[in-house]
Amino acid sequence: MIKYYTRVCNFYSGQKSKEKVKEGLALPISNNNLLSFDTIEIITRKHKKKIHIKEIKKQSYKIKKKIKEDIKLIIGKKKFKGLNFLNFPILMGVINLTPDSFSDGGKFNKKNSGFHRASYLIKKGCEILDIGGESTRPGAKYVSKAIEWKRIKKTLKKVRKLNALISLDTRKSWIMEKGIKNKVNLINDVSGFDHDINTVNVLKKHKIPFVIHHMQGTPQNMQKNPKYKNVLLDIYDFFENKIKKMRSLGIKHKNIILDPGIGFGKNLKHNMTLINNISIFHSLGFPIMLGVSRKRFIKDLSGNNDSKERLGGTISSILYAMTQGIQILRVHDVNEVNQSIKVFKSLNFK
């Protein structure tokens, strides 16, 4: 049986988008008339075909039915407790309370530096703080739950007073339970809740919002020759199957975010395919998060223009993601990224 996937493309922004939507020549992304599309790409494992929205009615019954079902999810208003996606993108600020994270290990794990960093990130425009005590960079060593909790507990207790959603970046159910008791708002498990079989029970018990993140393998082996039949469609199927599993276990709320996991068990080609076609995930009906900040693919593409912070490559990737309607961006350099977004939106979304 052939499975069809729907990817939106050919986007419009700002005033032109509003006019196109008003005239019925384009459809809005997530109920936001400032960003719209007029073309659908229908994809199978063997073929793909672009169809203008005016041509949908001319397609076969099966394809027409599939497109209409997916468009309903694509254009529908995204709902997530505590977030307003009409003012997109939302920034998630990274706080690694570790000695060995790939780009900022050791910077914010001393005394009150984690809390001060959190305050600064909120001041500069992030709405979500993602706090973690275990590095999951390629080759990172496993950290015990006791050490991980020791690294984050003081900062978690302090940041509760700040005006932001608190995301807990962990793979361990014990840490999740401790974090939830300390009023975290969101669970972000890079393993997609596959590392610890009890994590799904924690989600069900507390009905807490969460990120479904894709990773092939583990931090120890994920970059050792990762392989896919079709990276884009394989990850789409992963999300679809994971959501079905969550629903079957009784997790019915809609406070779910999808993250394709750039750099987590992907080579350069895989990462580029995902970023170039990331709008396919809109048809799953949930907000999409993208983490490209300072990642290795920027070095691979920029060659001798690489830099420690990789700010230029981070910003260009983020602005591209904005034009695809990505709702949440996970970043280290909140101030500089927010500056670029404000300028870009003034030029393109007014």
Determine whether 295 is an active site residue.
yes
Cα–Cα distances in angstroms (integers) from residue 227 to residues 103, 242, 252, 279, in the given order: 26, 20, 32, 22
Integer Cα distance of 158 and 160 in angstroms: 5
Q: What residues are paired with 328 via a beta bridge?
A: 90, 289
Distance between alpha carbon 298 and the CA centroid of its chain, in Å?
18
Would you say 158 and 131 are in contact if contact means Cβ atoms under 8 Å apart?
no
Q: Say which of 151, 266, 310, 330 is annotated catalytic.
A: 330
Q: Quickly tell me which residue has 């079989």 as its tokens.
A: 197
Q: Say which of 20, 294, 295, 296 is annotated catalytic.
A: 295
At residue 349's C-alpha, the angle toward residues 348 and 350, to 5°, is: 105
Q: From start to end of 66-223, where are the E strands?
A: 90-96, 128-132, 165-169, 186-189, 210-213
Would you say 185 and 105 are in contact if contact means Cβ atoms under 8 Å apart?
no
Mode of pairing for the β-strands spanning 328-331 and 289-290: parallel
Residue 174 is which amino acid? W
Which token pair is 266?
A: 């992907």
Compute the half-sphere exposure of residue 121: CA atoms within 13 Å on the CB side of its CA: 30
- Classify residue 244 as exposed, middle or buried by CB count within 10 Å of its CB (0-12, 13-18, 19+): exposed
Integer Cα distance of 209 and 257 in angstroms: 8
Active site residues: 295, 330
